[in-house]
Amino acid sequence: MSRMFRGVYIVWILLRYGLDELVLTSLQKPWLHVVVRIITVGRRLDAPRGQRLRQALERLGPIFVKFGQVLSTRRDLLPPDIADELARLQDRVPPFPTEVAVATIERAFRRKVDDIFVSFDRTPVASASIAQVHFAVLRDRQGQARNVAVKVLRPGMLPAIEKDLSLLRMLAAWVQGLSADGKRLKPMEVVAEFDKYLHDELDLVREASSAAQLRRNMDGLDLVLIPEMFWDFCATEVIVMERMVGVPISQTDRLRAAGIDLPKLARDGVTLFFTQVFRDGFFHADMHPGNILVSTEPETFGRYISLDFGIVGTLTEFDKEYLAQNFTAFFRRDYKRVAELHIESGWVPQNTRVDELEAAIRAVCEPYFDRPLKEISLGMVLMRLFQTSRRFQVEIQPQLVLLQKTLLNIEGLGRELDPELDLWATAKPFLEKWMLEQVGPQALFRQLRNEAPRYAKLLPEVPRLLVDYLRRGGPDGEQAQQRRLFEELLVEQKRTNRLLQRLVYVAAGFAIGLFAMQLLFRVQWWGY
């Protein structure tokens, strides 16, 4: 019943804000304009379409807001007025009352806000679908005043998310049971992945730990700044972190005025993404413009500033190597190798013809090479690849859904920073270098270094093991020893069998003698 009511509410919101009219007017069919006039009778739809779409997503809750955030990064796919309104979902969702935020902080730390912070700004500086942020001044353990950002979880998030996830599970079950592509698309597994990421985002301690991991991983790269976490003031509903100062990456005019090299910034973004994915297998998976600033401080000028680590993606060593080989083959236009990798991994049936899959992949990808980013749409490439995957029964990999989403975000950001960016030429050297590190001498030395503690434990035992082995005569001596043991076992078995045979004979003779004595006794008794 709760799913049904939620579904009815969603439909009511869509009608309330006229999203049906928005969809129909976007279709170039004359007769649809008549339909629009009919369905809009009695409804006041005076607000601009972008505003209505944004307000509808805000009313529907965090899952829909996140969907709007992803769309907001794809200005190549959206009209400017809609893209501008959806951009407000990145950090300008209506905030919840400051009194609620203060109560949450005091409940989490069991202290008054004024006892924790030297000062606390009660006006939130940013508000998103899951949490809002307040600036404050904190006195650290050394007694030094530090400018901090306090992130407070929005109240009532868990029930709201559970309602939508329950509805998604039901829809996924229908798709999996009724659709011919249900098994290939794995909708239940995709929703399960989405469920895990959303619940992880509701635990701010997990977010703080992800930020700390990324900060360690990125140390020394000189491309990105990640805020320090103050662990004495981190709880499930509240985290306190270093305050970062920079220009939002979406404000390209301000960045140019500050002297930021936007083409270099775009290239650095591609390098940063591929480093997190392929070197570390641990990447920031919510890279919309609201979560990215650019530093203008002299000592860190031009570096990225990453915020909001509620959603991070992870890849196994197998996934990393498989994806890197695919990307490398793709950048080299080795479509046959791409097809072979898909078959080897089991993503397509083993009886798939390599030449047919190779030709299909070439038809999708070849038109987009040697073009600047402004002439490429990864969204369209992925759509055409999706159509090809359906033909060849390619199975969807739920663990890579976040990676695909992040890749689309990266493309959207790169398009805004430098439309002339050659995405392929920028990424190719990095991936080739990474592949060399994985299979070359560096990889061998790295494996030896990682195994050194284990080898150090085993080395002192090697002389004794070698002496024992030689005493047994090596392989031949060991086989001879086994033969001797087997022969001794046979001799012992024969001896045991003879002993058992004698015991049987003795027992049988004893039984026969006993029977004869009883018979003799009875004969004598009858004769008497």
Q: What is the pLDDT of residue 170?
A: 75
Q: Report the run of H or E that residue 168 belongs to, with start and end.
A: helix 157-178
Residues 398 and 498 in one domain: no
CA atoms of 247 and 266, how far apart (whole Å):
15
Comparing 12-16, 249-253, 469-473, the range with the smallest average pLDDT is 469-473
Average pLDDT rounded to a whole number, residues 377-401: 63
- In this prediction, residue 523 has a pLDDT band, given cuts at 50, 70 and 90, of very low
Q: Using CB atoms within 10 A of its CB, is residue 209 exposed (0-12), middle (13-18) or buried (19+)? A: middle
DSSP at 265: H
For residue 171, the cross-strand partners are none
Q: Are residue 347 and residue 495 in the same domain, yes or no?
A: no
Q: Are strands 224-225 and 304-306 parallel, antiparallel or unpaired?
A: parallel
148 vs 139, more confident: 148
DSSP SS3 for 396: coil
Domain contains 62 = yes
Of the candidates 264, 271, 364, 278, which has an alpha carbon nearest to the alpha carbon of residue 317?
Answer: 278
H helix or E strand, kind and range, residue 28: none
pLDDT at 521: 47
- Please check whether residue 300 is in contact with residue 268, taking contact to mean a CB–CB distance below 8 angstroms: no
CA–CA dist 287, 39 (Å, integer) = 38
Q: What is the pLDDT of residue 327?
A: 74
- The total of other beta-carbon atoms located within 10 Å of residue 361's CB is 21
Q: Are residues 372 and 476 in the same domain?
A: no
Sheet strands (E) in 121-205: 126-127, 131-139, 145-153
Q: What's 21's DSSP letter? A: H
Across 140-277, the runs of DSSP E, i.e. the strands, are 145-153, 224-225, 229-234, 238-242, 247-248
Of 57-71, 200-214, 420-434, 455-469, the one with minimum mean pLDDT is: 455-469
Q: Is the pLDDT of residue 475 over 60?
A: no
What confidence score (pLDDT) does residue 302 get?
92
Based on the domain organization, do 302 and 397 belong to the same domain? yes
Which range, of 31-40, 217-226, 274-283, 453-462, averages the lowest pLDDT? Answer: 31-40
Distance of CA 379 to the CA centre of its chain: 19
Q: What gap in Å lies between CA 117 and CA 136, rounded to an integer? A: 7
Residue of 239, 257, 236, 238 lying closest to 247 (CA atoms): 257
Please indicate, yes or no, whether residues 398 and 504 belong to a single structural domain of this protein.
no
Q: Does one domain contain both 396 and 478?
A: no
Query: How far apart (Å, rounded) are the C-alpha atoms in residues 416 and 426?
Result: 16
Count CB neighbours of 175 within 10 A. Answer: 17
- Write down the pLDDT at residue 370: 67
Q: Are 45 and 18 in contact (CB under 8 A)?
A: yes
Alpha helices (H) in 332-377, listed in sequence order? 335-344, 354-365
Encode pLDDT of 305-315 as tens digits. Answer: 999 898 888 88
For residue 78, the Cα-to-chain-centroid distance in whole angstroms is 26
Considering its fold, how many domains does the chain have in total? 3
pLDDT of res. 313: 85
Mean pLDDT across 131-141: 90
Residue 10 lies in a domain: yes
Give DSSP secondary structure letters for 154-166: PTTHHHHHHHHHH
Catalytic positions, please?
A: 286
357 with 485, same domain?
Answer: no
359, part of any domain = yes
Give the closest residue to 249 by CA, choosing from 225, 229, 227, 230. 225
Residue 281 lies in a domain: yes
Give the closest residue to 446 by CA, choosing from 437, 434, 458, 457: 437
Q: 239 lies in a domain?
A: no
Q: Which amino acid is at 426?
A: T
Look at residues 295, 232, 226, 309 and name the one whose alpha carbon lies nearest to residue 265.
Answer: 295
For residue 116, which of 94, 88, 137 has the smallest C-alpha distance?
Answer: 137
| pLDDT 10s digits, 259-290 | 999 999 988 988 888 888 888 889 888 887 78
Classify residue 186 by its DSSP letter: -
Asked which of 21, 53, 87 is the last residue of a domain, the reply is 87
- Cβ-contact 291, 308 below 8 angstroms: yes
Q: What is residue 68's predicted lDDT score, i.e. its pLDDT?
A: 76
Structural tokens at position 31: 């007769």
Dihedral over alpha carbons 510, 512, 516, 517 (to 10 degrees): 20
Q: Which two tokens stand for residue 197?
A: 């990421």
Residue 526 pLDDT level (bands cut at 50, 70, 90): very low
Identify whether residues 500 and 397 lie together within a single domain.
Answer: no
Above pLDDT 70, what percent of the chain? 66
Q: Measured between alpha carbons, how far is 170 from 326 in angstroms, rounded to an integer?
A: 34
Res 111 pLDDT > 80: yes
Tens digits of residue pLDDT in 321-338 = 777 777 778 777 888 888
Q: Which domain holds residue 501?
A: 472-527
Mean pLDDT along residues 215-240: 93
Length of the chain as a residue count: 528
> Where is the domain boundary, 28, 56, 87?
87
**Same domain, residue pair 421 and 282:** yes
Given a cut of 90, whether residue 152 has pLDDT beyond it is: yes
Which residues on neighbouring strands pair with residue 149, listed in sequence order?
135, 241
pLDDT at 224 over 80: yes
State the sign of the Cα–Cα–Cα–Cα dihedral 457, 459, 460, 463: positive
Say what the pLDDT of residue 43 is: 61
CA distance 122 to 418: 38
Report if residue 223 sits inside a domain.
no
Identify whether residues 271 and 393 lie together within a single domain. yes
Mean pLDDT, residues 50-56:
85
Contact (CB, 8 A) for 91 and 290 = yes
* Euclidean distance between CA atoms 416 and 422, whole angstroms: 13
In this structure, are 381 and 435 located in the same domain? Answer: yes
The reply to whether 309 falls in a domain is: yes
Of 32, 66, 87, which marks where a domain is finished?
87
List, for residues 357-387, the tens digit of each pLDDT value: 888 888 877 877 666 666 666 555 655 665 6
Do 344 and 303 lie in a common domain? yes
Instruction: Examine residue 119 and state whether it is found in any structural domain, yes or no.
Output: no
Q: What is the structure's pLDDT at 377?
A: 61
Lowest mean pLDDT among 52-61, 130-139, 273-282, 507-516: 507-516
User: Average per-residue pLDDT in the chain?
Assistant: 76
